[in-house]
């Protein structure tokens, strides 16, 4: 019943398309124009999209921290490590740069040598006051040398915050307005104002300024993503068009296919705008993906059209059969491909959900576009000439098909030995894979801002914020001597950890207050005793209100404080160790009945997000396998066929995973995506082959060998064509500056190549070896849907 309905549906669809050609083209043009109007709503990512759900404990803790102290990742740091900076002229120019930055509306405040203040004791009033360390304009070198020595040797409060004593590196910390941090104005400020000011300074002084900080990195990240979208699209169009022309040797076939996928790309951008999704490193991949996945549709449809023309020369009949006979097959394969992407939609991650929604919708859209546009355009054109049909009889294709047939017929044992040996080696490789990643390892290695990240890690301990929040559970509990001593003890353990920078908290201010009380003698930079505490703490409270930098380290009630540090770029395995060690120290130092202490910050969110993504993407892969297995069960109604069909599709995934182990490529969000995407695409070949195999069995009265070889010859060419297009199409992602995108392109390409060989050699071998158990009417029941059309008389007579 269902088969009859589908046959009638596709016949009706062919009639509608070919009888309403102008109307359909106008409709497609209208939708394309509408999608074009939605481009203005596309938003390039200004935020660091969280992969964790809103109710995740780490997000709850981070939101609590932000509510108390504001976002911690609003700092941009500038630094110079060059002895010539400390010449009078250059140092005055450095201070001028700080003034210029502070005058910009997007900047909240700046901490630099220009406005550096020293806490001193007023002997007459017997109180502490803040005095400028450097004058407005330095007059001579002796004055600068004296003040530099005073800063570097006698003010440990600013060590590692603004300078590195060992190397002489000096930095300026600029805090952006938090309200503007996630708005487009941030990008305009960093790419225009900041870059211009820094460039002018470098030209005037011949000094190299290092710039970093999370807002700066996110801005340049977004810019590179935007720049790469165009490169990906052009590269994908170029590669696929060259391959397409090589196969078909027809400019018009190539041109028509390019028009189809270009419209698909326009729709993809339109959907991003329509849904108002941000363009992230993942959604930026969708337009070139549409090109890569859309071209095999064009190959399948045009190849079928040319085959029909060659057989009977009737254009109208050829076009009608392209739609009615091939429409169902292309729909099934596009549905399985879309299913691989659609599994991301069930995850709690907005990043992956948006990617899954737009990718799956546009894969189905490119199917509809190719099914409509290609027959309609060809209907207005003359019949293909003989030169356009020569590719159907290429000798090298015959050689490839004969080689496959020979391997399946004469070397099945060798095929199994190689497959099992490869499987064993791959499993060994899998055990060498690390589930890891780091915050910056996928960033462009050749970018200036990447070099600057490494510079700040070396000189100042890192740029990834880690926050420890200490809640004393009582008002003004932070300023109690016992609490300060506990915070100091934890700070010392943090300072002894090589991957963490020197911590900053209210403890530093209290120590500085004691040093000032004893006339600035450096050895008194320590916590006050109980006797000293009352007077010094009163002064510390007053002083904290005078400095923008430090007032955010204690809440208004004095109950809650933060300890801020920065983490170097380390693998997630090491991050987990650091987290465990710090939590162990926290539990030992702060009794849970008196204190509530937790860790947060963007570094910790990245760790939790990475683990969460890996777990959920493994779930997504399992769901994709299950969903596609159910789909194939519905098509073929045979559990044995499902089991056999999964073997040539799962083996390539295992081989790729093994390669990752041997090559040292870790499991991380950017590489785990490979498996769901590749499985959803590679299973198309299996569906095509098995559908043709079953059709041949019926036509050849269950003669198994003949059916296998016929199916191999019939489907081998189209599977080879589409696999080559997909291989080179996904390879364009290797040109990306982002390590994760490069890995995605390379691994998907390799997996699809393995899948092609597996489906063309291993699958037929299994069918022949298990012929008596598989190929019988009881096992191969009548399918719910004919994926491939039943051969018509014209075809059979040829």
In what helix (H) or strand (E) does residue 486 lie, and over which residues does it extend?
helix 481-495
pLDDT score recorded for residue 210: 92
Residue 511's pLDDT is what?
A: 86
pLDDT, tens digit (0-9, with 9 covering 90-100), for 511-523? 888 888 888 888 8
Residue spans of beta strands (DSSP E) within 375-486: 464-471
Q: Which residues pair with 211 in a beta bridge?
A: 78
**Angle, in degrees to the nearest 10, between helices 704-731 and 214-248:** 140
Length of the chain: 798
What ranges do the domains of the chain cover?
8-47+219-371+396-431+607-792, 74-212, 446-506+517-600
What pLDDT shows up at residue 337? 81
* CATH code of the domain occupying 8-47+219-371+396-431+607-792: 1.20.1640.10
pLDDT for residue 549: 43
What pLDDT is stored for residue 793 in this prediction? Answer: 37
pTM attached to this predicted model? 0.75
Which residues, other chains included, contact 103 with Cβ-Cβ below 8 Å and sequence gap of 6+?
none
- Which residues share a beta bridge with 130? 119
Paired strand residues for 170: 80, 163
Q: Where are the alpha helices (DSSP H) in 350-460?
A: 350-379, 386-389, 395-410, 412-430, 448-460
Q: Is 21 exposed, middle or buried (0-12, 13-18, 19+ CB in 10 A)?
A: middle
The string of pLDDT tens digits covering residues 69-101 is 877 678 888 999 998 999 999 999 999 999 998
Kindly give the parts of the chain with pLDDT less than 50.
Answer: 543-549, 785, 791-798
- Decide if domain 446-506+517-600 falls under CATH 2.60.120: no
DSSP assignment letter at 192 = I
43-44 and 278-279 strand pairing: parallel
Question: What gap in Å lies between CA 539 and CA 517, rounded to an integer?
Answer: 9
């Amino acid at each position: 019943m269902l088969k009859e309905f589908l046959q009638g549906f596709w016949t009706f669809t062919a009639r509608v398309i070919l009888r309403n050609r102008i109307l359909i083209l106008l409709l497609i043009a209208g939708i394309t124009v509408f999608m074009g109007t939605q481009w203005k709503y596309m938003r390039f990512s200004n935020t660091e999209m969280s992969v964790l759900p809103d109710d995740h404990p780490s997000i709850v803790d981070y939101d609590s921290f932000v509510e108390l102290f504001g976002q911690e990742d609003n700092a941009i740091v500038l630094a110079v490590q060059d002895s010539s900076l400390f010449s009078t002229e250059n140092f005055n120019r450095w201070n001028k740069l700080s003034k210029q930055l502070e005058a910009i509306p997007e900047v909240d405040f700046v901490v630099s040598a220009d406005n550096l203040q020293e806490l001193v004791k007023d002997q007459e009033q017997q109180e502490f006051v803040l005095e400028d360390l450097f004058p407005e304009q330095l007059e001579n070198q002796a004055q600068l040398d004296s003040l530099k020595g005073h800063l570097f040797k006698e003010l440990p409060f600013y060590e590692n915050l603004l300078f590195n004593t060992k190397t002489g590196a000096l930095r300026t910390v600029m805090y952006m307005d938090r309200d503007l941090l996630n708005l487009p104005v941030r990008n305009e400020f960093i790419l225009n104002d900041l870059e211009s000011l820094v460039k002018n300074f470098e030209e005037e002084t011949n000094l190299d300024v290092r710039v970093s900080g999370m807002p700066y990195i996110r801005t340049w990240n977004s810019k590179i993503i935007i720049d790469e979208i165009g490169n990906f699209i052009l590269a994908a169009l170029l590669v696929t068009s060259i391959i397409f022309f090589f196969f078909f040797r027809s400019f018009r076939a190539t041109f028509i296919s390019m028009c189809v996928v270009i419209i698909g790309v326009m729709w993809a951008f339109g959907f991003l705008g329509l849904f108002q999704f941000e363009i992230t490193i993942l959604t930026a991949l969708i337009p070139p993906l549409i090109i890569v996945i859309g071209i095999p549709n064009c190959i399948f449809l045009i190849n079928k059209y040319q085959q029909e023309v060659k057989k009977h020369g009737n254009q109208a009949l050829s076009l009608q059969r392209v739609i009615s006979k091939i429409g169902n097959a292309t729909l099934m394969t596009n549905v399985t491909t879309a299913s691989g992407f659609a599994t991301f939609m069930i995850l709690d991650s907005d990043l992956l959900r948006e990617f899954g929604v737009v990718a799956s919708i546009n894969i189905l859209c490119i199917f509809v576009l190719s099914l409509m546009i290609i027959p309609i355009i060809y209907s207005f054109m003359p019949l293909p000439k003989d030169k356009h049909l020569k590719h159907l009889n290429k000798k090298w294709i015959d050689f490839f098909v004969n080689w496959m047939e020979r391997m399946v017929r004469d070397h099945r044992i060798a095929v199994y030995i190689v497959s099992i040996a490869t499987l064993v080696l791959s499993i060994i490789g899998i055990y060498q894979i690390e589930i890891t990643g780091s915050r910056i390892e996928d960033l462009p290695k050749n970018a200036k801002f990447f070099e600057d990240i490494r510079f700040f890690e070396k000189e100042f301990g890192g740029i990834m914020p880690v926050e420890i929040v200490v809640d004393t559970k009582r008002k003004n509990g932070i300023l109690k001597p016992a609490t300060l001593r506990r915070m100091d003890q934890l700070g010392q353990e943090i300072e002894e950890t090589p991957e963490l920078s020197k911590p900053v908290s209210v403890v530093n201010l209290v120590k500085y207050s004691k040093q000032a009380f004893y006339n600035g003698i450096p050895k008194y930079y320590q916590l006050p005793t109980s006797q000293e505490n009352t007077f010094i703490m009163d002064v510390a409270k007053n002083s904290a209100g005078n400095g923008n930098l430090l007032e955010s380290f204690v809440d208004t009630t004095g109950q809650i404080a933060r300890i801020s540090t920065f983490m170097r770029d380390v693998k997630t395995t090491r991050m987990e160790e650091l987290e465990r060690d710090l939590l162990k120290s926290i539990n030992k130092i702060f009794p849970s009945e008196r204190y509530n202490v937790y860790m947060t910050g963007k570094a910790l969110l990245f760790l939790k997000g990475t683990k969460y993504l890996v777990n959920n993407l493994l779930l997504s892969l399992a769901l994709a396998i299950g969903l596609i297995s159910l789909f194939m069960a519905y098509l073929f109604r045979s559990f044995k066929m499902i089991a056999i069909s999964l073997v040539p599709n799962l083996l390539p995934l295992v081989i790729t995973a093994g390669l990752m182990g041997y090559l040292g490529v870790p499991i991380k969000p950017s590489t785990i995506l490979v498996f769901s995407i590749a499985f959803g695409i590679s299973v198309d070949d299996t569906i095509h082959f098995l559908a043709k195999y079953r059709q041949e069995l019926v036509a050849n009265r269950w003669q198994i060998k003949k059916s296998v070889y016929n199916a191999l010859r019939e489907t081998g060419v189209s599977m080879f064509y589409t696999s080559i297009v997909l291989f080179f199409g996904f390879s364009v992602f290797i040109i990306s500056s982002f390590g994760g995108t490069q890995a995605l392109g390379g691994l998907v390409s390799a997996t699809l190549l393995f899948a092609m060989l597996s489906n063309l050699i291993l699958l037929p071998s299994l069918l022949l070896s298990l012929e008596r158990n598989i190929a019988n009417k009881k096992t191969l029941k009548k399918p719910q849907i004919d994926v491939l059309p039943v051969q018509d008389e014209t075809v059979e007579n040829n």
